Every structure is written in structure tokens, then in C-alpha cells.
Amino acid sequence: MLPFIALLPIAGLAAAADISPFEKADILTDCLTQSSVPWNTRGSNDWKLDAAPYNLRLNFTPVAIAVPTTVKHIQDAVACASKTGVKANAKCGGHSYGSFGLGGEDGHLTIELDRMNKVVLDNFTGIATVEGGSRLGHVAYELYNQGKRAFSHGTCPGVGVGGHALHGGYGVSSHTHGLALDWLDSATLVLANSSVVTCSATQNPDLFWALRGAGGSLGVVTEFRFKTFAAPEKVTFFIAQAPWKTEQQAREGMTALQDFVNDGEKMPRELNMRLFITNRFVNFEGLYYGDKAGLQGVLGPLLKATNASLVLSQQGGWLDQVKHFGNGVNLDQGHPYSMHETFYSSSLYTNALTPSQLSAFTSYWFTHAKSNKRDWYVQIDVHGGPTSSVTIPEVDSTAYAHRNYLFMFLFYDRVDRGVYPAEGFAAIQNFVGNVTDKIPVEEWGMYVNYPDPQMSREAAQRNYWGKHLERLRSVKGEVDPGDLFSYPQGVVPAV
Ligand SMILES: Cc1cc2nc3c(=O)[nH]c(=O)nc-3n(C[C@H](O)[C@H](O)[C@H](O)COP(=O)(O)OP(=O)(O)OC[C@H]3O[C@@H](n4cnc5c(N)ncnc54)[C@H](O)[C@@H]3O)c2cc1C
Ligand SMILES: *[C@@H]1O[C@H](CO)[C@@H](O)[C@H](O)[C@H]1NC(C)=O
Ligand SMILES: *[C@@H]1O[C@H](CO)[C@@H](O)[C@H](O)[C@H]1NC(C)=O
Ligand SMILES: *[C@@H]1O[C@H](CO)[C@@H](O)[C@H](O)[C@H]1NC(C)=O
Ligand SMILES: *[C@@H]1O[C@H](CO)[C@@H](O)[C@H](O)[C@H]1NC(C)=O
């Protein structure tokens, strides 16, 4: 916690640039009060709930927390931040690995959106209107109950649709149905100058392009409009255990996995799958759009080639799978929300690994990761490949830069209590570094929704947005030249 000082004379606004943002707390909250924007009293129960990020390792302290319930409140909160010279960030589900919804550092205005979570399905057009503070489980639950519809997104019910759909949104439907951002039809947002704009393929198309991959840097989305698909009546979720005990077996098994997922004859669009590696077990897990017999037929060759065996294959309805992948927690998540972890993580996109790249991965796994006794895992999603719907749109059609990569890795290291240890950082960074060391720099990237907050802003921008960075910076320069919506790894405006 930073010391809290509130001594600034109101007249000092012009010189506000060089003083600590915490000294502006009173002017900022006075401005919010004058504009009738609800805000949390420091130390109140709501303050504690709203200031607590999912990742307790990065517990930043805001200058103030606005809790809007209308678009006008959001416009006024943005105006107050701009006038007082305090950076502002939208916070939806608070699940950013870098706590970017709190600004990724102390001293920002948090615009807490989770009181705005209405979801309305238009049964005729199939378009879902989703307020900017909704969580994924709530959206899935409402879409199903209002008309048996769904769209493609990740698995944790508490994740916010805001951060998720603005920066990718990969889940157990993505191989079949693409990313969350691919289902976005239009969005309405408040810009840095407090104006409200709507963007879509035909309205403000540059902004719409940039929003789908880097939205957190551009404004506060008040409302998303998603296309939806009819939720299938029957799906099958599964877990298969791989008994690999040696590095040699892991290498052989992962080679078989790569061959399988890169073969359009074997890997159907309907199969969504990841490899999940921990110190205690290695699993294939996923969701098949079809029945149990269909899944068993499709997985047969992979199980044979990897010696894996099915330990769960369960046919169920749409919400059954949503609950399964949400680890059984209540789907209809809103405010208050109080689940947290203490962790550090990083990510990587790659094409199919060459033998030397694969060896770098398995060698680190078996020689170094095995001795890490914390609760770490590596999740390798089958992101692309010949039958993945993620790869259907052109790579330049949105700001999401890494559509064409086969694999998406998440490296995650967690402590169940206490403080995350300093040596943890190197354990993850070396895992990633040993693999990227063998790959030309233009042949890998990182997922902005699985950010590594230890990276410099330059490295982060390059790794998250690759070839799209220049165009993004130019859109950012148009709509937010003063970098009001700033966070330590956000898009820097072009000058
Ligand atoms: C337990 C857990 C499970 C996860 N599972 C998956 C998964 O299966 N697939 C996957 O792809 N990702 C997954 N993620 C990552 C997740 O998609 C990102 O962390 C996402 O950015 C979280 O969004 P949020 O709204 O909850 O976070 P926040 O911290 O609230 O926001 C994250 C960023 O988005 C911005 N933002 C949020 N809302 C808005 C808005 N309305 N307008 C403008 N900017 C906004 C914030 O300013 C911030 O920069 C998971 C994360 C966790 C913690
Ligand atoms: C939408 O359709 C579902 C069934 O398809 C129905 O139960 C529901 O009442 C409809 N909702 C509206 C608002 O018409
Ligand atoms: C699968 O088992 C066979 C027979 O024991 C063995 O030769 C092969 O290396 C194993 N492969 C993997 C990936 O475990
Ligand atoms: C690979 O891992 C080892 C062991 O942790 C580490 O010493 C080395 O620096 C790493 N190499 C790279 C390129 O990251
Ligand atoms: C606000 O910014 C947008 C984007 O730069 C611009 O188009 C618009 O004219 C501005 N509105 C006002 C009222 O200045």
C-alpha cells in the first residue's frame, strides 16, 4: 500500500503533471461527485472487493475507483481522469495476469464495470448485446437460457468479457468456432475525449480493427454486440492420460501429437484439444462437438500413437461442458467476486516444433521444471492447424497478430499461500527462453491475454502485436494521443 496523501490545493491543476497521482485523489473524487459518478470510499468493503485483482501477486492501489452504472457515468469518469491528469483503465473481470484492469501499477483511476452486466439476446437476429462489465459465465448462462445460443470463448466463469474478447479469447470451442473476437459484430466505446463511438466492419473500421486485439489501450467498451451460434445439443468432453515417464517418451508423444493435429484427415474441426503438463501428470483434454462414439473414433489414432488412455469421456448438453471446464463453480458470476491466486506466467505461440525446438522444450521440462516443486503447469492449446477455425479469417483482418500459429503455450507457476518467491521468475523465463532460443524471432509470439508482466514495454508490444504494432500505434495516436488508457505493456501512441 502506498501512503495516501491528499493535500493538493485545487488551483494547482495545471502543474499536475509532475506530482504523484495520489496527491490528486481529492480533486479526482470531487470531480466524480460533482458529475454524480458513483465511486468507492477508500477502505470500504466495495473498495476492497474491487481493488483485489485475480492475481494477488500484483496488488496495485488505485487513486480512486469509479463504479459507473450508465454510459454517462463512464464518460464523466473519463473526463475527470483526463482533467486531473490521472491515467484511467477499464476493469471488467479483473482477471488480467498483469492486473492491467487496475492499470498494472499504482496510481490509476479504475473504472470498475462489473455493475454493468446486462445480456440481451435478440432471438430474431441472434445478436447478443452484452454490457462491458459482464463475466463469461454469466454471458454463457444468459445466452443459453434466453435462446439456446452461444459464442466462442474461454473457460473460467469469472473472466471478464471485456479483457477477454478485446485481446483474443481462446477456449474449448475455438478450433470449431474461432476466437471470441471473431464473433464481435460491433462495439460501443467511450474514447479518451469522453465521446461515445460505435465501430464495426462498416462504421469506424480502423478502430474496429484495432479494438479486436488491443482494445484495452483504446477506450472503455460500454457494450459489445456478438453474433451467436445455436448451442449444440450434444457435446463430449474428455481427459486422456499420457503415461510418459521419460524425456524420450515425451518427445515421441509430442511428435505424435504434432503429426496428428497437422493432419487435416485426422484432426477434425469438431475436436478442441490441449496438452496439459504438470509435475504429477500429463493429460490431453478437450471438447468434441459430437457424441461419445464419435469422439472415441476420432481420438483412437492419437491415443494409440501416444499410449494415452481415456479416463473421462462424457456426453452432455451445452451448459454441462461449460460447467465442467469452469471447474464446477457457479456459472452466473457477477459482483461480488472473490476468487484469487498468486502466480506468475508467460506464454508462447509457435508453429509445429522442429526436432531441436522440441528437444529444447522436453529437455527443460525433464531436467529443470521437474525440480520446481511449486504448483506449475504448461498448457499447450491446439490453436491453429489445417482444420482450425481460428485460421480462417485473414491474419491482417484484426489486430490479433498470431492467428496462424499452431500452438499456444501458457506457462504458469503458482503458490497456494504466501508470497510468490523471487526465484520463480527465472523458472518460467528460462522455460520460455530455452524454446525461443531455437526459433527465429519472427516465428514466435506471445498472447496478450496471457501476458508476461516482467517484459519491457518494447518487448511486450513486439511479442503481443508483431507486424500489427505500427498500425495499432497509429490508431492509438488518433484516439488517445495522450495515453490516458495507459498500462505498462499497452500500445504507445504514434506521434
Ligand atoms: C482463471 C483464468 C482463466 C483464464 N482462461 C482463459 C481462457 O480459457 N482463454 C483465454 O483466452 N484467456 C483466459 N484467461 C485470460 C483472460 O482472457 C485475460 O486475463 C482477460 O484479459 C481478462 O479479462 P478481464 O476483463 O477479466 O480482466 P481485467 O483485468 O478487468 O481487464 C484486462 C484488460 O482489458 C481491459 N478491459 C477490460 N474490460 C474492458 C472494457 N470493457 N473496455 C476496454 N478495455 C477493457 C482492461 O483495461 C485491461 O487492460 C484466463 C484468465 C484467468 C485468470
Ligand atoms: C427466445 O427463444 C427461446 C427458445 O428458442 C424462448 O424460450 C425465449 O422465450 C425467447 N425469448 C424471447 C425474448 O423471445
Ligand atoms: C508407447 O509404448 C511403446 C511400447 O511400450 C513404447 O515403445 C513407446 O515408446 C511408447 N511411446 C510413448 C509416446 O510413450
Ligand atoms: C535455459 O535454462 C537454463 C536452466 O534454467 C538457464 O540457465 C539458461 O539461461 C536458459 N537459456 C535461455 C536461452 O533462456
Ligand atoms: C473525440 O475524438 C475522436 C477521435 O479522435 C474525434 O473523432 C472526435 O471528433 C473527438 N470529439 C470531440 C468532441 O472532440
Q: Tell me how far apart the alpha carbons of residues 493 and 495 are, in angstroms, rounded to a whole number.
A: 6
Q: Which of 273, 290, 316 corresponds to the end of one domain?
A: 316
Q: Are residues 217 and 240 in the same domain?
A: no
pTM: predicted TM-score of the whole model, two decimal places: 0.96
Q: Are residues 262 and 276 in the same domain?
A: yes
> Which long-range contacts (C-beta less than 8 Å, at least 24 apart) are formed by 142-146?
143/119, 143/228, 143/231, 144/231, 144/318, 144/319, 144/322, 146/119, 146/120, 146/121
Supply φ then ψ for residue 381, to 5 degrees. -85, 140
Distance 466 CA to ligand 4 centre (A): 24
Q: Which residues line ligand 1 (CB under 6 A)?
A: 54, 89-97, 100-101, 113, 132, 154-156, 159-160, 162-164, 166-171, 215-216, 220-221, 449, 487
**Probe ligand 1: pick from 87, 109, 156, max atoms within 8 Å of CB?**
156
Torsion of CA 394, 132, 322, 333, to 10 degrees: 160
* Amino acid type, 214: A
Q: Are residues 253 and 291 in the same domain?
A: yes
β-pairing verdict for 149-150 and 196-200: unpaired
Q: Are residues 275 and 312 in the same domain?
A: yes
Do 321 and 237 touch, CB atoms closer than 8 A?
yes
The closest-lying atom of ligand 1 relative to the alpha carbon of residue 189 is: 42
291 lines ligand 5 (CB under 6 A): no
Q: Tell me how far apart the alpha carbons of residues 109 and 62 are, in angstroms, rounded to a whole number.
A: 6
**Probe ligand 3: pick from 251, 307, 366, max atoms within 8 Å of CB?**
307
| pLDDT score recorded for residue 18 | 73
Q: Are residues 154 and 252 in the same domain?
A: no
Q: Tell whether 312 is covered by a domain.
A: yes
By the 10 Å C-beta count (0-12 exposed, 13-18 middle, 19+ buried), 28 is classed as buried
SS3 129: strand
For residue 301, what is the domain's CATH number? 3.40.462.20
| CA proximity to 136, closest of 116, 121, 122, 117 | 117
Q: Which of 271, 296, 316 corresponds to the end of one domain?
A: 316
Q: Tell whether 343 is covered by a domain.
A: no
Q: Are residues 216 and 248 in the same domain?
A: no
Nearest CA to ligand 5 atom 9: 195
Q: Which of 199, 231, 263 corresponds to the end of one domain?
A: 231
Helices then strands (H, E): number in the chain? Answer: 14, 18
Q: Are residues 204 and 285 in the same domain?
A: no
Q: Tell whether 249 is covered by a domain.
A: yes
Domain residue limits at 239: 235-316
Query: Over the Cα atoms of the chain, what is R_g?
Result: 22
Nearest CA to ligand 5 atom 4: 479
| pLDDT score recorded for residue 17 | 54
pLDDT in tens, the chain (495 residues): 344 444 444 444 444 457 999 999 999 999 999 999 999 999 999 999 999 999 999 999 999 999 999 999 999 999 999 999 999 999 999 999 999 999 999 999 999 999 999 999 999 999 999 999 999 999 999 999 999 999 999 999 999 999 999 999 999 999 999 999 999 999 999 999 999 999 999 999 999 999 999 999 999 999 999 999 999 999 999 999 999 999 999 999 999 999 999 999 999 999 999 999 999 999 999 999 999 999 999 999 999 999 999 999 999 999 999 999 999 999 999 999 999 999 999 999 999 999 999 999 999 999 999 999 999 999 999 999 999 999 999 999 999 999 999 999 999 999 999 999 999 999 999 999 999 999 999 999 999 999 999 999 999 999 999 999 999 999 999 999 999 999 999 999 998
Nearest CA to ligand 3 atom 1: 307
Q: DSSP code of 392?
A: S
Q: Tell whether 37 is covered by a domain.
A: no
Q: Tell me how far apart the alpha carbons of residues 485 and 488 are, in angstroms, rounded to a whole number.
A: 10
For residue 222, what is the domain's CATH number? 3.30.465.10
- Strands of the 119-121 sheet, one edge to the other: 119-121, 128-131, 220-226, 184-190, 196-200
SS3 239: strand
How many domains are there within the chain? 2
Q: Are residues 132 and 227 in the same domain?
A: yes
| CA proximity to 217, closest of 453, 448, 456, 459 | 448
Q: Tell whether 223 is covered by a domain.
A: yes
**Probe ligand 4: pick from 434, 438, 444, 455, max atoms within 8 Å of CB?**
434
Do 402 and 297 touch, CB atoms closer than 8 A?
no
Q: Are residues 224 and 257 in the same domain?
A: no
Do 179 and 169 touch, CB atoms closer than 8 A?
yes
Q: Tell whether 38 is covered by a domain.
A: no
195 lines ligand 5 (CB under 6 A): yes
By the 10 Å C-beta count (0-12 exposed, 13-18 middle, 19+ buried), 334 is classed as middle
SS3 477: helix
Q: Tell whether 158 is covered by a domain.
A: yes
Q: Are residues 303 and 204 in the same domain?
A: no
Nearest CA to ligand 2 atom 12: 123
| CA proximity to 21, closest of 413, 493, 484 | 484
Q: Are residues 284 and 253 in the same domain?
A: yes
Q: Tell me how far apart the alpha carbons of residues 329 and 322 are, in angstroms, rounded to a whole number.
A: 10
Q: Tell me how far apart the alpha carbons of residues 330 and 318 are, in angstroms, rounded to a whole number.
A: 15
Q: Tell whether 80 is covered by a domain.
A: no
Q: Are residues 222 and 173 in the same domain?
A: yes
| pLDDT score recorded for residue 114 | 98
Residue 163's H or E segment, with its range, is helix 161-166
SS3 371: helix
